[in-house]
Amino acid sequence: MGTEQRECVPGRPVGRRRARWREWTPLTLLAGAVLVGAVLWAAGRRGTADVVWAASTLVALVPAVWAVLRQLWRRRFGVDVIAVLALAGALLVGEYLAGAVIAVMVATGRALEAYAQGRATRDLRALLERAPRRARRRTPDGGIEVIGLDRVAVGDQLLVGPGDVVPVDGVLTAPATLDESVVTGESQLVGRAAGEQVPSGVVNAGAAVGLRATRDAAGSTYAGIVRLAREATAHRAPTVRLADRYAAAFVPFTLALAAVAGVWSGEFVRAVAVLVVATPCPLLLATPIAIVSGLSRVARRGVLVRDGGSLELLGRARTLLLDKTGTLTAGRPWAAETVVAPGGDRDEVLRLAASVEQLSPHVLAVALVRQARQRGLVLATPTEVTEEPGRGVSGRVDGRLVRVGQLGGDLPDWAELARDRAELAGWSTVWVSGDQGPLGAILLADPVRPDARRTVRRLREAGLSRLLLLTGDRPRTAEQVARLVGVDEVLARCSPQEKVDRVRRESRRAVTVMVGDGVNDAPALAAAHVGVAMGATGATGATASADVADAVITVDRLDRLADAVEIARHARRIAVQSAAVGMGLAVLAMLVAAAGRLPPVAGAFLQEGIDVLVILNALRALRGGLRRRDVPPTTRALLDRYAGQHAGVRDVLARVRDTADLVATRPTAEGCLPALRDTHRRLTDEVLPHADAEERQLYPALAGPLGGDEATATMSREHVEIHGLVDRIGGHLARADGRLHPDQVPDLLASLYGLDAVLRLHLAGEEEDYLSLDPAPPTPGS
């Protein structure tokens, strides 16, 4: 849709150029008139110079009077009245140069406002401008037709050409390279495999690729983002309305001070001087500029905030309530462990289960198929597939009957151990069976996001003092997640109504933010001061949450919440600072003018300088405020590489646990020593080289983003411990002369189980502290 994209926004660039011309042309003409008058004055033609300056003042006065009259008609009373009085007063007392400078000041304020608003809303505007309008659809006869986006239906086969914007949410029919920066905020190109879901709005950065539509245009991800962007650009921040209310006190004070100065001194020119330096029209623009700048910045980070009021509240928040599933956890199950019957093969059990589940839309089935494909397993096409609700799926794979789901009756010893392990860990169990009974069990977990703990720490540092976890899950599982991420309080088995009640209770104490992702979270999001929906990626629950939320995190990363809070606080701080400093300087100048120490001309130039200074200060909200450090591209590449190797390390880790169980239960069995040798070989060939390479390449590269070499010291110490335990296992193998001696078993078990614990902790720590720095950290086990 290269051409279609250009057709999306006909006339927009021209319209913006005309808008800029309308704002900057009056300023240019008025400034030119002031300079022409100055030249005439220097040439001795003072009468002509005064005429030029008076005309400039009158040119500015007429539209200013009209603006004030319109405000009064709408029952609004703003600070523009001061500018009108200052311009009129300058004409009455013959201070024509002062009047011309005031005219230039007012025009400068309008031009700076136009520039600042355009600069601050550039990212939001870009979202609107690049919204797709058309799609290429395959026809039954094999042709391609270009259709309007509103004609795309679920199931349509679309073609996305090079450089095209993906028009609707869909599933890729072939591998693709995508630019997801508009949706995720990250500029790095991403490779997606066939069968993966992709959201609308991303750009095809590779060859043409097929896409099967899974949602229509109105329900797709980018449509929701565009709706939020429109609302964000249409609403005014409460601080903008506060500026209008501020005029109710500032204008009477100004008029009273001007009157006192004129009456007390008997010089009307002093009253005019007070009005001149009190002209704060562009000054009060600094506050909304800072807020809109914050809206633009959070949009670049992949967070769409509905309006400036929500951003301002986010900057004042003190309490945060978090849903668990899909918010603190990934919301996508993955196979934490695959337990097999004695003599079985893990990969084969996973392949059989995924092959049967290929046709099932169930979330657990999708997880099994995704993980099997990630491991490179070749799935077979199942036959005679049947599904029993609540029981599972059965079918034939390569002529072999396979059942996946629940398992009834008595269980063999290994299966009972697997079931007990899953219950203790809070995991789900999917049994894989054949004609002869159970072949294995796949233990599924919903992992905590790798960036969750780091995000919670950043939120506390940003000023959120109370963090609570609300979930409908079991207390045991909820407590485990709470301890892991570090929240203050847990409310488990929580119904949607209980979530709403708790949000309302917390909202009475402080400004409260609620974060969730599902349909059941929508009422709680609506009840909070600021509701934040996680990942508007097309899921039904996410769409329902996004519809009522004040902000939507468009990328599936929790750390963007911390980014948004930090940016919101930064923007609000600058807004308050700009207003306080600017108005303080204006009041000080007014007092000096009332004392007769600041004539109107000098006051006009001074006020112009104050206004420009404060507006430029407000634009600082476009940068700064983030505590996190950006990771250089070379370091990101290293993080991607070593994150990809974690799947292999976890596979070896599973072998370590199996071998330990075998040594513990059957140390004299014929296959025990060969299994131990194979595990040791994989440790020395795969795990230790991975650890050594991290020490040489990854950890030094992380010194900058993490603030020094000491940040990786703990992980380096764990590498030393892993090496030592592998060496101990190797030492026992060297002593074994065809079998394990009884006196070796206790220390060998300590080494194997110790290695299992240290390696699990090490992988979790790396994923939380290091790999979560990458824009797209892996799901553990992927």
pLDDT of residue 650: 85
pLDDT at 518: 61
Is the pLDDT score of 66 beyond 90? no
Residue 460 pLDDT > 60: yes
Is residue 379 over pLDDT 90?
Answer: no
pLDDT in tens, 130-184: 667 788 888 888 788 888 888 888 888 998 888 888 888 888 888 888 877 665 5
Query: Around 485, how many Cα atoms within 13 Å sit in the side-chain half-sphere?
Result: 31
Of 665, 581, 657, 565, the C-alpha closest to 615 is: 581
> Does position 320 have pLDDT exceeding 90, yes or no?
yes
Strands 551-553 and 303-305: antiparallel
Q: Is the pLDDT of residue 648 over 90?
A: no
CA–CA distance, 648 with 650 (Å, rounded to integer): 5
Please write the tens of the pLDDT for every residue from 654-678.
Answer: 889 888 888 888 888 888 888 899 9
Local structure of 361: helix, strand or coil: coil
pLDDT band at 92 (very low <50, low <70, confident <90, very high): confident
| Active site positions, annotated | 323
b/e 428-466 (16+ beta carbons within 10 angstroms → b)? ebbbbbbeeebbbbbbbbbbbbbbbbbbbebbbebebeb
* pLDDT on residue 115: 62
CB half-sphere exposure, 744, CA atoms < 13 A: 20
Q: Is the pLDDT of residue 467 over 90?
A: yes
% of the chain residues with pLDDT over 90: 12
Residues 257 and 274 sit within 8 Å (Cβ to Cβ): yes
Residue 18 scores a pLDDT above 70: no
Q: How far apart are CA 540 and CA 626, in angstroms?
A: 32
501: number of Cβ within 10 Å: 14
Q: What is the pLDDT of residues 251-272, one digit of tens each?
A: 788 888 888 888 888 888 888 8
- Check: pTM over 0.85? Answer yes or no: no
- Predicted confidence (pLDDT) per residue in 549-585, tens digit: 788 887 778 888 999 999 999 998 998 888 788 888 8
Average pLDDT over residues 404-408: 79
Q: Which pLDDT does position 285 carry in this prediction?
A: 66
Distance CA 546, CA 193 (A): 27
Mean pLDDT, rounded, of the chain: 80
pLDDT band at 469 (very low <50, low <70, confident <90, very high): very high
Q: Are 579 and 617 in contact (CB under 8 A)?
A: no
Which of these ranges, 82-91, 392-401, 536-545, 669-678, has the smallest mean pLDDT?
A: 536-545
Averaged pLDDT for residues 642-658: 85
Q: What is the pLDDT of residue 535?
A: 66
Both tokens of 539, joined, read 């899921």
The DSSP bridge partners found for residue 394 are 386, 403
Structure confidence at residue 241 (pLDDT): 47
Average pLDDT over residues 39-58: 86
Residue 224 — pLDDT band, cuts 50, 70, 90? Answer: low
Answer for the pair 175, 191: CB distance below 8 angstroms, yes or no.
Answer: yes
